[in-house]
Chain A
Amino acid sequence: DAGVIQSPRHEVTEMGQEVTLRCKPISGHDYLFWYRQTMMRGLELLIYFNNNVPIDDSGMPEDRFSAKMPNASFSTLKIQPSEPRDSAVYFCASSLAMGRLLDTQYFGPGTRLTVL
């Protein structure tokens, strides 16, 4: 399997612009997670989906952030409008639920976002 795929790997944009980050989970995985990593706050969960349905979005910072999962093989995280404080590395991860044997989360390579 190719693993979790994220695009773009790097994104540089100007304040006020819309940013869309993309993720393709591992085929067959039914959970998808979006995390953000900053020096100040470390790694924190933004939102996660189960079978394409958002389950917990309590980590989404504010209304400028939105996430969708239109099908089992694709998810987007959108920031509109972007601000310099959104600069971070954004990770997508996926996992497979098998009862008690809930599998490990496998991470993508991340998208480094810089908002100028």
Chain B
Amino acid sequence: AQTVTQSQPEMSVQEAETVTLSCTYDTSESDYYLFWYKQPPSRQMILVIRQEAYKQQNATENRFSVNFQKAAKSFSLKISDSQLGDAAMYFCAYRRGLGGSEKLVFGKGTKLTVNP
């Protein structure tokens, strides 16, 4: 079964600085997708960024980027120019590719605090 591990239960960053959240996963599949979701205190799960395993180029969304290392099964999230609104729980998630189960497998999450 696929597993997703987030080894940092909590992280903190100064406003305007850069922070990297770690995620590793275990799978025997070659086709899959990886996601980072943000959950602020409002509880809403918000998609931050996604990466298709067949793409070698790292995904980027404005201040958010990933470092996808397929051989190492690592998928870290970098947040640049951190803002107070970035404070939230961040969840890494895995999903099998085409023809597989559609369910997301989540890590336990990392709580990010942004200090002014």
The residues of A with any CB-CB pair to B shorter than 8 Å are: 31, 33, 35, 42-45, 48, 50, 55-56, 59, 89, 91, 93, 95, 97, 99-100, 102, 104-107, 109-110, 112
Is the CB–CB distance between B44 and A110 below 8 Å? yes
- B98 at the binding interface (Cβ < 8 Å): yes
From B44, B97, B103, residue with most partner A Cβ within 10 Å: B103
Could you give 25 example pairs across A and B, Cβ below 8 Å?
Answer: A33-B103, A42-B106, A42-B107, A43-B91, A45-B104, A55-B102, A56-B102, A59-B103, A89-B43, A93-B45, A95-B102, A97-B102, A99-B98, A100-B97, A100-B98, A104-B35, A104-B47, A105-B104, A107-B37, A107-B44, A107-B45, A109-B42, A110-B43, A110-B45, A112-B43
A55 to B103 alpha-carbon distance, docked (Å): 10
CA distance A59 to B102 in the complex (A): 13
Q: Is the CB of A48 within 8 A of B47?
A: no
What is the interface of chain B mostly: helix, strand, loop, or mixed?
Answer: loop
Q: Is B101 interfacial (CB-CB < 8 Å)?
A: yes
Task: List, in ascending order, chain B residues with CB within 8 A of A44's CB.
Answer: 106
| Total residue contacts A-B, CB cutoff 8 A | 50
Q: Which residues of A contact B47 (CB under 8 A)?
A: 104, 106
Taking CB atoms, residues of chain B closer than 8 Å to A33 are 102-104
Question: A105: which B residues are within 8 A, CB to CB?
Answer: 104
Chain B nearest Cβ from A69, distance in angstroms: 14
Contact of B101 among A56, A100, A107, A110 (CB under 8 A): A56
Given contacts A43-B106, A59-B103, 4 further A-B contacts (CB under 8 A): A44-B106, A48-B102, A55-B102, A102-B102
| B35, B44, B45, B106: residue with the most chain A Cβ atoms closer than 10 Å | B45
